[in-house]
C-alpha cells in the first residue's frame, strides 16, 4: 500500500465526499498536507533529477478528473480508463519514466462515478460491439486502491454490463478487497512477474515473485480470468534454468489451466536509457547498444532488442516451456 510523504488536495476534490474522507484520513496521519487551488501541482521539492524523482514518487495528489474524454489504448483495449496515474513502484525500466515528467507523483480521482458514467457512453456508442477498457495504462492502480476503491467500483460496473470488458495489470499483491466484487468474469487481472533476481535488482518497492503468485492464486480462486506478463526477460547466461524454475513454481501454485501468457524480452530506446541514467546512475541494466540489434520504431523511436540468434533461442525456449507446463494455446505472444 502506498504511504505517501505528502498529499496534495485539489480544492475541487474537497467538494466530493470521497475528498473529505481522504482529508480526514490523512489529517490523522503523519503526512504533510497541501492544497492546490487551480489544479497546478507545485510544492514538490527536489533539486537534482534523482531528488525530484524520489519526492514525486512520495507524493499523492487527490484530484477530480475534469477532462472526461478517454485516450485510446490500442492494440490491447479500446480505451484507457483514467482512474489513477503514476505508481509508487520504482522499477528502473518502467515505461512511465519517460511519460510522467521529472516529479512523477501519483494521482487519484474522487469522481469515479463520473468517469464510469463516461465509460458507459463509450460502451453505448460501440454497441453491439464489446468495448474493452484498460485500467493500468498509466499507473499500477493496486497500491492506492485502499484509498479509492475505484478498481472495485469499475470491476462491478463492467461486471454488470455485458457489452464491456475490463483489464488491468499489476506488480502488487493487495487484492483482498477485490475478491468479493461482482466481476461476472468480465475483468481480467494480469500480474507482471519476473525472477526474483531481476525484481531485487530493478523493481524497487514492488512485491516479490512468490507474493505476486499468491495474489494471482487468490484472484483466480475468486473466479477472475487471469494472465501473466513475464517481462522484461533478460537473456543472461543461464537464464533458461531460472525462468523455467519460475514457470514450474507458478504451475505448482496455480491449478488454473486457463492462464494467458505474454512474454516480453528486454529492450530499450536511447531516450529511456538517458532517463534511467539520470535517476539511477549506477544501474546495472544491460543497455550496451553494441550488443543489441537496432529495430526501427513506428514513431521514430528505434529500440535496441536482442540479436536475431538470441531472440530465436528465447522464443523457442518459452514456447517449449509454456507448452509443456500448460499448452501452446496459453501463449498470447512472445516478443
Q: Provide the binding-site residues for ligand SF4, judged by CB under 6 A.
A: 87, 89-91, 94, 96, 140, 171, 203, 206
Query: Residue 123 or 229: which CB sits closer to ligand SF4?
Result: 229
Query: Residue 191 or 318: which CB sits closer to ligand SF4?
Result: 191
Rounded least distance, CB 171 to ligand SF4, Å: 4
Q: To which residue does cell 483514467 refer?
A: 82
Residue 281: CA atoms inside 13 Å, Cβ hemisphere, count? 5
Q: Using DSSP, state whether 104 is helix, strand or coil.
A: coil
DSSP 140: -
- Burial of 116-150, coded b for 16+ CB within 10 Å and e otherwise, reads bebbeebbeeeeeeebbbbbbbbbbbbbbbebbeb
Query: Residue 94 or 198: which CB sits closer to ligand SF4?
Result: 94
Contacts of 29 (CB under 8 A, 6+ apart): none
Query: Residue 23 or 277: which CB sits closer to ligand SF4?
Result: 277
Rounded least distance, CB 263 to ligand SF4, Å: 16
Contacts of 198 (CB under 8 A, 6+ apart): 232, 234
Across the strands, what pairs with 259? 226
Rg (the chain; Cα; Å): 20
User: Among 262, 150, 170, 181, which Cα is nearest to 212's?
Assistant: 170
Rounded least distance, CB 198 to ligand SF4, Å: 12
- Residue 15, Cβ neighbours under 10 Å: how many? 12
User: Among 60, 102, 103, 108, which Cα is nearest to 83's?
Assistant: 108
DSSP 277: H
Query: Residue 31 or 96: which CB sits closer to ligand SF4?
Result: 96
Query: Residue 123 or 137: which CB sits closer to ligand SF4?
Result: 137
Rounded least distance, CB 313 to ligand SF4, Å: 26
Give the C-alpha separation, 250 to 254, whole Å. 6
Rounded least distance, CB 232 to ligand SF4, Å: 10
Rounded least distance, CB 138 to ligand SF4, Å: 8
Rounded least distance, CB 104 to ligand SF4, Å: 9
Cell numbers standing for residue 219: 484472484
283 class by beta-carbon count within 10 Å (0-12 exposed, 13-18 middle, 19+ buried): middle
Query: Residue 83 or 123: which CB sits closer to ligand SF4?
Result: 83
Rounded least distance, CB 212 to ligand SF4, Å: 11
- Determine contact, residues 73/64, Cβ cutoff 8 Å: no
Query: Residue 206 or 220: which CB sits closer to ligand SF4?
Result: 206
Rounded least distance, CB 28 to ligand SF4, Å: 27
Query: Residue 88 or 155: which CB sits closer to ligand SF4?
Result: 88
Amino acid at each position: 500500500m502506498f504511504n505517501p510523504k505528502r498529499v496534495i488536495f485539489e480544492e475541487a476534490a474537497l467538494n466530493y465526499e470521497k475528498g473529505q474522507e481522504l482529508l480526514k484520513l490523512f489529517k490523522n496521519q503523519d503526512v504533510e498536507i497541501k492544497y492546490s487551488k487551480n489544479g497546478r501541482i507545485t510544492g514538490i521539492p527536489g533539486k537534482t533529477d534523482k531528488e525530484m524523482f524520489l519526492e514525486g514518487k512520495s507524493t499523492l495528489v487527490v484530484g477530480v478528473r475534469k477532462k472526461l474524454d478517454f485516450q485510446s489504448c490500442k492494440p490491447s483495449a479500446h480505451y484507457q480508463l483514467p482512474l489513477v496515474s503514476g505508481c509508487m513502484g520504482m522499477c528502473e525500466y518502467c515505461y512511465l519514466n519517460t511519460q510522467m515528467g521529472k516529479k512523477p507523483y501519483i494521482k487519484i480521482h474522487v469522481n469515479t462515478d463520473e468517469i464510469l458514467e463516461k465509460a458507459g457512453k463509450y460502451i453505448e456508442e460501440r454497441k453491439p460491439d464489446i468495448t474493452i477498457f484498460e485500467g493500468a495504462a498509466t499507473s499500477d492502480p493496486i497500491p492506492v486502491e485502499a484509498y479509492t476503491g475505484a478498481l472495485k467500483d469499475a470491476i462491478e460496473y463492467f461486471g454488470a454490463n455485458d457489452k464491456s470488458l475490463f483489464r488491468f495489470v499489476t506488480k502488487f499483491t493487495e487484492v483482498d478487497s477485490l475478491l468479493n466484487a461482482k466481476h461476472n468474469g468480465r475483468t481480467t487481472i494480469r500480474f507482471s512477474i519476473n525472477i526474483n533476481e531481476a525484481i531485487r535488482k530493478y523493481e524497487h518497492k514492488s512485491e516479490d515473485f512468490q507474493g505476486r503468485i499468491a495474489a494471482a492464486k487468490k484472484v483466480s480462486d475468486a473466479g477472475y480470468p487471469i494472465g501473466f506478463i513475464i517481462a522484461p526477460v533478460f537473456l543472461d547466461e543461464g537464464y533458461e534454468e531460472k525462468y523455467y524454475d519460475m514457470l514450474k513454481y507458478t504451475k505448482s501454485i496455480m491449478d488454473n489451466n486457463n492462464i494467458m501468457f505474454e512474454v516480453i524480452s528486454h529492450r530499450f530506446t536511447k531516450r529511456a536509457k538517458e532517463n534511467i541514467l539520470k535517476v539511477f546512475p549506477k544501474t546495472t541494466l544491460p543497455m550496451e547498444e553494441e550488443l543489441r540489434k537496432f529495430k526501427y520504431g513506428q514513431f521514430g523511436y528505434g529500440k535496441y532488442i536482442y540479436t536475431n540468434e538470441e531472440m530465436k533461442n528465447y522464443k523457442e525456449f518459452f514456447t517449449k516451456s509454456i507448452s509443456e507446463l500448460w499448452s501452446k494455446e496459453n501463449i498470447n505472444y512472445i516478443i
